[in-house]
Amino acid sequence: MTGPKGVTGALAGVRGLLLDLDGVLLLAGRPIPGAADAIRALDARRVPYRIVTNTSVWSRPTLSRYSESLGLSIPPSRILSALSVSAAYTREHFDGRPIYVLATDDARIEFDGQRLLSHENAAAPGARAAAGVIGDAPDEANYANLNVAFRLIRGGAQLIGMHRNRWWITPEGPTLDSGAFVAGLEFASGAKAVVLGKPSIAFFAQAARELAAEVAASGGGRSRKRDFAMVGDDLWTDVLAAQRAGLRGVFVLSGKHGREELAKAAAQRRGGGRPDVVAGSLAELVAELD
């Protein structure tokens, strides 16, 4: 593990962690070695943490059950997902107004109580919506539904991307993510998407607020964003973005990006940079926390 000020210096005073899911705890549907023990160690030491994930295909309760089946004990309240922040956003901005959500049935649970259009109603001639929300929906993201979203956006619906991820790793290998559909709808409609998951600054800020509240509730007083570190396997979306949001950034090599990305990012003048810490895995990082 490396860091410009040494690992201990780079992590000194860290009071809570944001953990990415894919590439930090799981990879291709299997737990990453040592991840379950690392979570248990954080629980035992009462280090507050949140799982911050751009996963939008499953609701938080389902994600929690799925993690449990892989030996990871993560209650829904510890999860902040691109899906859950998108549902919170539409609840705040479009309450009571029709919205079109391209997502799985399970993901739609997060929008409970909101006015969601069915695919049929959204496709009806003259249909209008306040927002078109795009998430991972392997079966629903077909031409017909994307065209429905396109028409609603042309008609004035706000285009919302739960995230803009390009790809991820599944048991079948590198897999197209829904960022391509968000980018495609932007391209076709001319609208600019509001993107709510990582790397949005607002997403990290919300997660840091939750950690700060937990620290304060346990008598730890006030904390700053620098007191928290984001641990991720995507150098740009997780690590450098969290650093831009004011948190510390830890890059782990257990996921989809490797050391070549570090050199690429360090050489990049815009949008580049270096993580505060590079670790082999979450297990290695937690072992170094003081």
Which positions lie near Mg ion, rule CB under 5 A? Answer: 20, 22-23, 233-234
- Shortest Cβ 260–Mg ion spacing (Å): 17
Q: How far apart are CA 16 and CA 227, in angstroms?
A: 7
Q: Which is nearer to Mg ion, 151 or 248 (CB)?
A: 248
How far is Cα of residue 242 from the mean position of the Cα atoms in its chain?
Answer: 11
Task: Write down the least CB distance from residue 41 to Mg ion, Å.
Answer: 21
Nearest approach, Cβ of residue 25 and Mg ion (Å): 9
In the complex, minimum distance from the CB of residue 65 to Mg ion, in angstroms, rounded to a whole number = 20
Nearer to Mg ion, 20 or 140 (CB): 20
Number of H helices, E strands in the chain: 12, 14
Question: Smaller CB distance to Mg ion: residue 23 or 135?
Answer: 23
Q: Which is nearer to Mg ion, 11 or 21 (CB)?
A: 21
Residues constituting the chain: 290
Q: Which is nearer to Mg ion, 22 or 110 (CB)?
A: 22
Min CB(112)–Mg ion separation in Å: 27
Minimum distance of Mg ion from residue 92's CB (angstroms) = 27
Q: Say if residues 233 and 53 touch (Cβ distance below 8 Å).
A: no
Rounded CA-CA distance 158/133 in Å is 8
Residue ranges of E strands in the chain: 16-19, 26-27, 30-31, 49-53, 79-81, 99-102, 131-134, 158-161, 167-170, 173-176, 194-195, 228-232, 248-252, 277-279
Rounded to 10 deg, the angle between the 143-154 and 179-189 helix axes is 50
Using Cβ positions, the residue closest to Mg ion within the complex turns out to be 23
Query: In the complex with Mg ion, which residue's Cβ is closer, 6 or 29?
Result: 29
Closest CA to 162 of 191, 137, 144: 137
